[in-house]
Structure 1
């Protein structure tokens, strides 16, 4: 085993990174479990969803949209949330090993934190690090959901411990990081905020969330718009 695998990558590095990510995932999962149950979901179904789906953003979007706008907006919102995994999985495919079934199983390790942590400086991906990091996060997500769904902490306890701020805080950090590295999409974020703020006043939450998420299509304008030629 090379020094890269023992210090900067490999199973051990993945478990170390995954432990830190799992701590945040656990708190977020407790919040989700309580959130889903208070919005009418049975505890068993809530836990089963975390067991099978393992996508915090999509799960929150599904529960929120389903409560405010029906099945179709809920499914569309969750699907839009998870579209990011298509290019992530495509870039990871060549690093997976074994038969189709094994590669499909290893592909389940493509989650946000693990995938980012597994990126190497040379542009390749550390398969072992990604899988190990996800193996730590998944049980933390499921157990946290179970605790939140079964115990259903009171609203006062959730506010006092700040659990209710974990999910919006996570997405705020991701948003700030994205806008810092890609300032050209700031108008897209502003447009989404305006659409969400206006439509929430007149439409159910699920439909407002769906309409706000469609502003991502504006990124296509920035990619396909022709560059101005320098004046001669």
Structure 2
């Protein structure tokens, strides 16, 4: 089954896959709007570093991780330092290990042949949407996750390509404060996962650790430090009575 839930009689029910997929597409629309300015900026920056109009959507479509892509473009030289870019990309995307662990309890009943390909579409926003939805409905809907994830992936890849094409014409989009769009969207998504202060303690540990490492250690180590500290604190706090 693509998702599991109980109907009013306590029997296992299977939601219609198409309707769940469309629900995911619809839920992703506000997040897509937040994606657009960042995608345009990334596409424009990549074009300025020498990537072609075809290479930009190829990069964003295969990697689908905005933070690591901005870092890769910032480090891009001619010729590029491939080992450095790969290492930084891995480091920034390491947060997906913690994100996947949070979804694992909801995915145990699903076949791996469906789960593993679907996780390609997991980004910060699709993960937060799927996790909040699973907790609210006490079930994980794979069609919903795919609808949201594919919509966000297509939007990101499309508008980075547009940014590469029209980059010189749009100027400095960041000057308008649009860089607050991602944090604002993600804070709204996190609100849907709030279950109380006690459960949020690992969030605080992760936030404080990441902030301190960001201030004290150069590079992207704060991402891995925040993810690791959140994971360790979750494990330790779960053992407390």
Asked if these proteins are the same fold (TM beyond 0.5), I'd say yes
Change (3 A) 1:55 1:212: closer
Shift of 1:215: 4.1
1:39 equivalent to 2:49? Answer yes
Q: 1:126 aligns with which of 121, 141, 147?
A: 141
**Counterparts of 1:104 and 1:221, CA distance in 2:** 22
Q: 1:109 aligns with which of 121, 138, 147?
A: 121
**Counterparts of 1:111 and 1:95, CA distance in 2:** 22
**Counterparts of 1:161 and 1:31, CA distance in 2:** 12
Contact 2:94 2:223 in 1 (8 A): no
Structure 2, unpaired ranges of 5+: 192-196
1:195 alignment counterpart: 216
Q: 2:66 aligns with which of 50, 56, 67?
A: 56
Change (3 A) 1:41 1:125: same
Q: 1:223 aligns with which of 200, 224, 233?
A: 233
2:194 alignment counterpart: none
Shift of 1:52: 1.3
Contact 1:185 1:219 in 2 (8 A): yes
1:142 equivalent to 2:157? Answer yes
Encode CA deviations 1:19-43: one digit per residue, 9 max, x unaligned.
2222222222111101222233333
Contact 2:206 2:226 in 1 (8 A): no
Identify the range of structure 1 (142-151 vs 208-217) with the bigger mean alpha-carbon deviation. Answer: 208-217
- TM-score if structure 1 supplies the norm length? 0.69
**Counterparts of 1:116 and 1:155, CA distance in 2:** 31
Identify the range of structure 1 (212-221 vs 146-155) with the bigger mean alpha-carbon deviation. Answer: 212-221
Change (3 A) 1:145 1:22: same
- TM-score if structure 2 supplies the norm length? 0.67
Contact 2:43 2:163 in 1 (8 A): yes
1:184 alignment counterpart: 205
1:71 alignment counterpart: 82
Structure 1, unpaired ranges of 5+: 197-207, 228-232
Identify the range of structure 1 (117-126 vs 74-83) with the bigger mean alpha-carbon deviation. Answer: 117-126
**Counterparts of 1:95 and 1:24, CA distance in 2:** 33
**Counterparts of 1:131 and 1:217, CA distance in 2:** 24
Would you say how many aligned residue pairs link Structure 1 and Structure 2?
Answer: 207
After superposition, the CA RMSD in angstroms is: 3.9
Contact 1:76 1:210 in 2 (8 A): no
